[in-house]
Amino acid sequence: MPLRNFRAPFIFYCDVPNHKDIKNKYYPRLKDILHDSNDTTVERWNCKVKTTFDFTVDCLWDDYFLDSVVWKHLDQMLKHVDLQRYPTTSELKTIWVNYYKDGAFQEVHDHVGDGLNQFSGIYIIDQKGSNKTSFIKNDFGILDSQVHTKNIEDIKEGTVIIFPSNLLHYVNPVEDERCSIAFNIHCKF
């Protein structure tokens, strides 16, 4: 009997070569923004995390930052991942900071949003200890599987992870501190 396999979801990751420069330039500003802001939680999220999700952080829209963290690595991902179709244009829809203290976590979620996001990413700008992000391929209980990227030593501070926006993921409780920058990309095909 013939069998056809579907392309599997993917998790693409790579290091940001100029991570130290980016961290020195942007991380102090991001910490100040999170510290100075009165409301850095999102009530509809079931988690313990400070975030800038509901407001714009201007420095994250800086061309140097976006080229170093988003566009260079999206292009790299598109060269390595076997997609059915490839985008003709890509647009950054949202970008925000998530800051975790000891015991903080993020619930299982996706980044589909309004249905216009095809790819999402996580840049780990500051992290003590192992990575805490885990991914779930949900086949409604029939073939569920998880990938705990905390077990992949290559994923560490200075790494960008790019994945399909509909791939479920979560952040396990952190033991110390973690700061990541998440983003969503809309593509036209």
- Please state the domain extents for the chain: 14-188
Alpha-carbon gap, residue 17 to 159, rounded angstroms: 9
- Tokens standing for 56? 């714009």
* Nearest Cα residue to 26 out of 73, 55, 66, 79: 66
Residue 65 contacts residue 27 (beta carbons within 8 Å): no
pLDDT at residue 39 in the model:
59
pLDDT at residue 130 in the model:
86
Return the CATH architecture of domain 14-188.
Sandwich (2.60)
Residue 98 contacts residue 41 (beta carbons within 8 Å): no
Residue 144, pLDDT above cutoff 70: no
pLDDT at residue 6 in the model:
57
Label residue 185 by pLDDT band (50, 70, 90).
very high
Say what the pTM is: 0.91
